[in-house]
Structure 1
Amino acid sequence: MSKNVSIKLENVQQIIDDQEKQQINNSYQGKFYIKNDKLYLSYADNAEGIDGSKTIVKIDPERERVLLLRQEPAAMKQDFVCGEKQAGYFKTAYGEIKMAVKTKRLEMEISEKSGLIRINYQVFLGGELNAEHHLKINYKILK
């Protein structure tokens, strides 16, 4: 059974060749459900150029893993496992971009009512370090 949830995303990113940090804050209304001991957040991403793509955050507390999947038109896969570099992709109108993310820190404070996930990670494009990210995901079940 799914429950209504409010989700807040904060992402601070720093492109390696750029001194400025960019902060992105978004809030969503979505669904929360549990399946096979994994927690899921599902919402429509309305950021510019994404046009309401369905996004799913799969939280696996036992394996300390977070998987972020977004569907077309801006499909993306990012797989976060602390200390590991995982292959992923980002699809644009111009084609698919292969990328990898290396998770430097992954912290979870989660329950069936609310949660906070912090992920510090690096993005690699074409094997080269491209950016550093500090992502924070907050969720809270709505009554």
Structure 2
Amino acid sequence: MSKNCSIKLENVQQIIDDQEKQQINNRYQGEFYSKNQKLYLSYQDDAEGLDGSQTIIKIDPERERVLLLRQEPAAMKQDFVTGKKQEGYFKTAYGEIKMAVKTKRLEMEISDNAGLIRINYQVFLGGELNAEHHLKINYKIIKENS
């Protein structure tokens, strides 16, 4: 059974060659559900250039892993596991770009009605360190769907 939830994403990113940090804050209405002992957040991403892409955040508390998947037209895959460098990709109008993320820290505070996930990670493009990110995902159950 899915539940309606509010989702708040805060991402502070610093491009390696740039001294300036960029902060992105977005709020979404989405769904929260559980399947095979994993938790899922699902929402339409209406941020600029994403055109309502369906986004799914798969949370695996037991394995301390978070998987971020976004579908077309701005498809992306980022896989977060503490201390590991995981291959991923994102697609643009110009084609697919291979990337990797190395998770420096992953913290989860999960309950039945709310959750907070903090991920500090590095993005590598073409094998080179491109950016540092501090991502915070906050969700709160609004009501159960019948």
TM-score normalised by the chain length of structure 1: 0.99
Distance in 2 (CA, whole Å) between partners of 1:71 and 1:112 is 27
How many pairs align? 143
Amino acid at match of 1:109: E
C-alpha distance after superposition, 1:106-136 (max 9, x if no partner): 0000012100000000000000000000000
Are 1:16 and 2:16 matched, yes or no? yes
Structure 2 equivalent of residue 122 of structure 1: 122
The secondary structure found in structure 2 opposite 1:23 is strand
Are 1:89 and 2:124 matched, yes or no? no
Structure 1 equivalent of residue 47 of structure 2: 47
How far is the alpha carbon of 1:101 from its aligned partner? 0.0
Are 1:109 and 2:122 matched, yes or no? no
**Residue identity (%):** 88
Distance in 1 (CA, whole Å) between partners of 2:39 and 2:5 is 12
Distance in 1 (CA, whole Å) between partners of 2:36 and 2:9 is 25
Amino acid at match of 1:139: Y
How far is the alpha carbon of 1:99 from its aligned partner? 0.1
Distance in 2 (CA, whole Å) between partners of 1:104 and 1:110 is 20
Distance in 2 (CA, whole Å) between partners of 1:92 and 1:112 is 36
The secondary structure found in structure 2 opposite 1:142 is strand
Distance in 2 (CA, whole Å) between partners of 1:57 and 1:49 is 19
- Structure 2: tracts of 5 or more residues without a match: none
Q: Which runs of 4+ in 1 moved over 2 A?
A: none
How far is the alpha carbon of 1:42 from its aligned partner? 0.1
Structure 1 equivalent of residue 6 of structure 2: 6
